Amino acid sequence: MDGKQVWAEMLEGNRRFVRGERRAYDFASRRAELLAGQKCRVTLLTCSDSRVVPEFIFDTNLGDLFDVETAGNVVDEVGLGTIEYGVEHLGTPLLLILGHTRCGAVTACCREGGRGHGNLDSILDRLAPAVERARRDIDQAILENLRQTKREILEKSEVVRRHVAEGRLEVVTALYRLETGEVVPVE
């Protein structure tokens, strides 16, 4: 199954989630099956916000998603290495970068933007260029951050670029709407 097909399945799972029609999964059998190794279909970079639970949002089973979660779905060297592991070693055909409405990290950067927040400053520093391009408009900054993160990954990861060039990887950015549960692609 290629990345486009996986993305179509993810969107169908999201439609089930929005309708409240989650599939029934046999987690005990799946746990036993996964003892032999991971069989992920998606490497997913998303925010660590507790309201954003990809396995629910996309109605997926254990082991379907290789999740990388950071505040503001920003990516640093550790996050990038984790993404590369999913792409290169697990062979996921889809890299999904998922932001969400009402993101606390982006909101903090838009409203405060200053320093003095301890290690949180490293997150604010990564968000600041997107926030400035969006002129501190929170909704626009969330979208710009998704675009910025995609550009960063493609610029900094030879592994991701190679997999895209070889047709083995689709890179998709999308927005999860907390208000409705809907996921929409972001260009």
Ordered by where they begin, the domains of the chain are 3-185 (3.40.1050.10)
Q: Residue 109: pLDDT above 90?
A: no
DSSP secondary structure code for residue 13 in this structure: H
| Antiparallel, parallel or unpaired: β 170-176 and 183-185 | antiparallel
At 13-70, the pLDDT tens digits run: 999 999 999 999 999 999 999 999 998 999 999 999 999 999 999 999 999 999 999 9
Residue 129 has pLDDT above 70, yes or no: yes
- Alpha helices in 22-91, H assignment, sequence order: 27-34, 54-57, 77-84
Q: According to the per-residue pLDDT averaged within each range, which of 97-111, 134-148, 155-169 is highest? A: 155-169
Beta strands in 5-132 (DSSP E): 42-47, 65-70, 94-100
Instruction: State pLDDT tens for residues 55-75.
Output: 999 999 999 999 999 999 999
